[in-house]
């Protein structure tokens, strides 16, 4: 089976969030299932620079939303790629989505419609690479940036199947309806059963309405999307398509996130008892003293979604018990400043920004990782925590609910707990959970058992790859 993955970002080439990790990991994971996956990406500066010698042009487009473009086939970072070389759309420094002013690029609708259009052309027409024809059986579209693929494919008469994965329904690719003709879309589809969304044009809704199958990144998030408080105005669409919706958990790259081989940490380890060197090194790096309580970490975007305003409110419950917090993140300016202010307290250290190596050292050295998200489609940092024996304390939502076994009395009696969950998602329950974390940390045998359980949890891609392969086969099966 041949599958074309359509993504706006892909690790390790370009990344702003979990979508990139999924796009980067799936090709290798699916190879074991007999699936040949290529990935189409915009030609951002980092992607163009990473392309290995020998990339070849396989398609040209004279008028791609304001300029000419070439489609290149090549390789980079172990991935088989199609790259859209369209400098007028993608050759820009800085964020792939945002300008220097922090706002969306004004032509984002055209930039990602171009991604969808070129992917649809590959699906409908195929390409020739080194004298051999290549045409996908299925197009796997990721988030709103690939939402128009099914519409473009239908206009071209393409027959390959389509799957759309929702990584975060909060981002919907909205633009004014005056863009319909500019994007080459049929105005006849601008209605409630098409891509109209409260008078606007929604790229995500376009894909949700027309893709053959829908997935999201955890079973619990799939169920949540059908509820108004999580569906972001699209819960009705999700309910209407519930028979076509699957929740498939994300995995992590177990070679990149492996405490036994991690070159970023003070001393690699295979057992939780080996965390001591990394903990001591982390405290030294972050300027934290030794303490009797748990050292907790946060590695996150600083946004309301991530519930970090709740953590600020609940933080005294941790500090009063001798606990500590080391945070790495950036985002909302108000939250950045609030955490800088919190770092004036003993036991709190904050780094604003992002540093991949430091994120490894934080997760390896901390006793616990805090993920108090208001909603979380899947989440990856709790999986990194499990892998490193760093106990996750998480909100009971989305993929956090699916991946962490709460330290309830029953789970502790059975010896299966891997972390803590709290609900409802507000400051007081979080404070109670932080107190409970400190209680468990004060019981060395119980804590060690939880750490061992965490490190033995499957967090890779094997089972999810099997689920995707089964979904693909179902999607391309004759009706």
Residues 106-155 pLDDT 10s = 999 999 999 999 999 999 999 999 899 999 999 999 999 999 999 999 99
Q: 479 pLDDT exceeds 70?
A: no
Average pLDDT of the residues in 337-341? 98
Q: Does the annotation place 15 within a ligand binding site?
A: yes
Using a pLDDT cut of 70, give the percent of the chain over it: 100
Top-level class of domain 272-456: alpha beta
pTM above 0.75, yes or no: yes
Using a pLDDT cut of 90, give the percent of the chain over it: 96
What is the 3-state composition of the chain as percent helix, strand, coil, each rounded to the nearest 5?
Answer: 40, 20, 40
Is CATH 1.20.58.760 what the domain over 2-251+462-476 is classified as, yes or no?
A: no
Average pLDDT of the residues in 7-33? 94
Q: Are 470 and 263 in contact (CB under 8 A)?
A: no
pLDDT at 404: 98
Q: 342 pLDDT exceeds 90?
A: yes
pLDDT, mean over the chain: 96
Q: Which residue has the higher pLDDT, 201 or 100?
A: 201
Give the confidence band of 50 by pLDDT, cuts at 50, 70, 90: very high
Place of tokens 């086969």: 473
Which string of DSSP letters, residue by residue, matches 180-234?
TTTTT--GGG-STTTTEETTEEEHHHHHHHH-SEEEES-HHHHHHTTSHHHHTT-
Give the confidence band of 354 by pLDDT, cuts at 50, 70, 90: confident
Average pLDDT of the residues in 284-295? 97
> Which of 23-27, 99-103, 380-384 has the lowest average pLDDT?
99-103
The reply to whether 272-456 shares the fold of 2-251+462-476 is yes
Q: 408 pLDDT exceeds 90?
A: yes
Q: 382 pLDDT exceeds 90?
A: yes
Average pLDDT of the residues in 434-448? 98
**Domain spans in the chain, listed from the N-terminal domain onward:** 2-251+462-476, 272-456
Q: 94 pLDDT exceeds 90?
A: no
> For residue range 265-283, what is the model confidence (pLDDT) as tens digits?
999 999 999 999 999 999 9
> For residue range 298-326, what is the model confidence (pLDDT) as tens digits?
999 999 999 999 999 999 999 999 999 99
Give dist(CA 399, CA 219) in Å, integer: 7
Q: 12 preceded by cis ω (within 30°)?
A: yes
Average pLDDT of the residues in 161-165? 98
Give dist(CA 159, CA 154) in Å, integer: 8
Per the structure block, which two tokens stand in for 2? 């041949």
Determine the angle formed by the axes of helices 149-156 and 203-210, rounding to 10 degrees.
60
């Amino acid at each position: 089976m041949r599958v074309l993955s359509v993504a706006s970002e892909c690790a390790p080439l370009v990344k702003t969030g979990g979508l990139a990790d999924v796009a980067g990991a799936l090709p290798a994971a699916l190879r074991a299932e007999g699936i040949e996956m290529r990935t189409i990406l915009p030609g951002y500066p980092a992607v163009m620079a990473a392309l290995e010698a020998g990339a070849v042009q396989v398609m040209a487009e004279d008028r791609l939303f304001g300029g000419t473009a070439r489609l290149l086939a090549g390789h980079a970072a172990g991935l088989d790629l199609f790259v859209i070389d369209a400098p007028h759309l993608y050759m820009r420094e800085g964020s792939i989505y945002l300008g220097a002013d922090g706002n969306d690029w004004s032509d984002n609708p055209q930039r990602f419609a171009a991604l969808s259009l070129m992917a649809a052309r590959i699906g409908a027409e195929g390409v020739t690479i080194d004298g051999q024809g290549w045409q996908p059986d299925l197009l796997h579209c990721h988030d709103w940036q690939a939402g128009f693929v099914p519409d473009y494919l239908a206009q071209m008469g393409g027959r390959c199947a389509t799957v759309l994965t929702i990584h975060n329904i909060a981002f919907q690719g909205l633009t004014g309806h005056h863009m319909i003709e500019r994007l080459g879309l049929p105005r006849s589809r601008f209605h409630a059963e098409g891509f109209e969304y409260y008078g606007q044009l929604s790229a995500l809704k376009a894909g949700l309405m027309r893709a053959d199958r829908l997935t999201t990144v955890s079973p619990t998030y799939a169920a949540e999307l059908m509820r108004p408080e999580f569906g972001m105005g699209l819960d009705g669409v999700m309910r209407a398509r519930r028979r076509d919706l699957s929740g498939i958990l994300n995995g992590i790259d177990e070679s990149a996130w492996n405490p036994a081989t991690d070159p970023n940490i003070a001393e690699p380890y295979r057992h939780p008892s080996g965390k001591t060197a990394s903990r001591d090194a982390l405290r030294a790096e972050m300027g934290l003293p030794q303490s009797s309580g748990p050292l907790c970490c946060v590695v996150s975007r600083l946004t309301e979604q991530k519930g970090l305003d709740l953590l600020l409110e609940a933080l005294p419950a941790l500090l009063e018990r001798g606990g500590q917090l080391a945070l790495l993140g950036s985002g909302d300016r108000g939250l950045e400043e609030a955490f800088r202010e919190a770092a004036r307290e003993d036991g709190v250290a904050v780094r604003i920004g992002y540093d991949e190596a430091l994120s490894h050292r934080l997760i390896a050295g901390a006793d616990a990782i805090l993920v108090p998200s208001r909603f979380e489609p899947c989440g990856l940092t709790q999986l990194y925590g499990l892998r490193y024996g760093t106990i996750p304390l998480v909100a009971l939502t989305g993929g956090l609910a699916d991946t962490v076994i709460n330290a309830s009395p029953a789970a502790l009696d059975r010896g299966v707990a891997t972390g803590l969950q709290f609900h409802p998602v507000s400051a007081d329950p979080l404070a109670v959970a932080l107190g409970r974390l400190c209680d468990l940390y004060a019981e060395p045998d119980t804590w060690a058992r939880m750490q061992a359980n965490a490190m033995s949890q499957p967090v890779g891609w094997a089972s999810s790859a099997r689920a995707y392969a089964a979904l693909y086969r179902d999607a391309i099966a004759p009706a």
